[in-house]
Amino acid sequence: MMSLKSLVILVAFFLTGCSGSNRNSESKTFKVATFTWVGYAPINLAKEKGFFEGVEVELSKIDDTAARRAALSSGQVNGSVDIVDSFVCARSSGVPASVVLKLDDSIGGDGIVAKKSIKSITDLRGKTVAFPKDQPSHFFLLSLLEKEGMSMKDLTGKGVNEADQAGNAFVSGSVDAAVTWEPYLTKAAQMPDGHILTSSRETPGLIVDVFTVRDDYLKSNPKEVEAFIKGWFKAVQYWKDNPSDANEIMAKALKLETKEFSEMIKGIKYADLEENQAFFKFDGNGSSRFTVLAGQASKVWVREGIITKEVAPASIDGSQIVQAVK
């Protein structure tokens, strides 16, 4: 069921129409949608420290995925956090934006919690598994099943809207396993009969958080987008140089205890300039790590019937600015 927040923003979309998008494109204020995830916290750090030089960044926390996508589609925001595999679905549904920046890699921040009797992916056969549909957890599950020669037909899938719902389903005992992310991963694993079956630590490079910008805003305001990108890199560098202060600021922004936040970021790796340029760099075959991952996700979603037509990775690659940063 769509949340009230989703409904409000969708109504705003139909009321503002194209004229609303144009007004936001012309504005020098860069309106950004984010949500409560440690991988995105350097955006809050950059805002707090004034690292976004040359652009006024206005942050809106929208935890509901549908509402966040609606805000980007309608032009209520100019840019938004997302994940490579999940954004492929968004672009297929008409979200007019492209990926401009890699934010982080999940190296343990996503995973599967299961009953202790379930000791391998193959043990999920015939079991009930909760997962956020069309999101990274879904893609993660499909990839792991495929590796074992399995598919969703081998288990009873329980699709939910968000990761917390999957985690809560496991905690309530209504499912045998759940695919989720932090902090729900750790909380679910603390159940007497629960454990982390596997995590993204075993599949590096599969779940990648990115930042997307509306195509019209990117075309009209490249300097503002560049300022945002450089602000991200300054924040990541500040975190490397001053981890205690940075963690405290970011934890406060996410309404988490600093100790809890410090533990959670062990499951992600922030992407600096060097990592970004390596991620988007094309090899001799005309492919990049980004286009390969986006292409893989596109094929998976078509195969599962989530989208009807593959999305061309090149059509969502807006990395020209980050590749030019020195």
Across the range 11-36, mean pLDDT stands at 57
DSSP 148: T
* Residue 9 near residue 76, CB atoms below 8 Å: yes
Q: Is residue 28 part of a domain?
A: yes
Strand ordering across the sheet containing 208-214: 56-61, 29-34, 79-83, 208-214, 97-106, 268-270
How does residue 201 score in pLDDT terms, banded at 50, 70 and 90? very high
Provide the whole-model pTM: 0.84
Residue 98: give its domain's CATH number.
3.40.190.10
Given a cut of 60, is residue 10 above it in pLDDT?
no
Among the three residues 151, 179, 202, which one is the final residue of a domain in this structure?
202
Give the pair of three-digit tokens for residue 278.
């390596």
Statement: residue 86 has pLDDT above 90:
yes
In this structure, is residue 307 part of a structural domain?
Answer: no
Look up residue 18 and give its amino acid.
Answer: C
Do 96 and 44 reside in the same domain of the chain? Answer: yes
- Please indicate, yes or no, if residue 306 is contained in any of the structural domains: no
What total number of domains does the chain contain? 2
Residue 309 lies in a domain: no
Mean pLDDT, residues 285-294: 95
The token duo for 95 is: 């979200």
Residues 218, 320, single domain; the answer is yes
Residue 304's CB: how many other CB atoms inside 10 A?
Answer: 15
Helix locations, the chain, DSSP H: 4-26, 41-49, 65-74, 84-92, 136-147, 163-172, 184-189, 215-220, 222-241, 243-253, 258-264, 273-280, 289-303, 320-324
| Backbone angle region of 295, left / alpha / beta, with phi > 0 → left and psi within -120 to 50 → alpha | alpha
Residues 48 and 75 occupy one common structural domain = yes
Shared domain for 160 and 36, answered yes or no, is no
- 99 with 165, same domain: the answer is no
Name the 3-class secondary structure at 106. strand
**Residue that terminates a domain, selected from 202, 230, 256:** 202
Shared domain check, 8 and 91? yes
Q: What average pLDDT score do residues 70-74 get?
A: 97
Domain boundary among 202, 222, 252: 202
Indicate if the pLDDT at residue 24 is higher than 70: no
Does any domain span residue 308? no
Averaged pLDDT for residues 128-148: 93
The average pLDDT across 217-246 equals: 98
Distance (Å, whole) CA 75 – CA 16: 9
Instruction: Give the pLDDT score at 26.
Output: 44
Let me know whether 144 and 221 are in one domain: no
* DSSP single-letter state for residue 152: G
- Segment 211-235 shows an average pLDDT of 97
With respect to residue 50, please indicate whether it lies within any of the assigned structural domains.
Answer: yes
| Res 11 pLDDT > 60 | no
Range of the domain at 151: 110-202
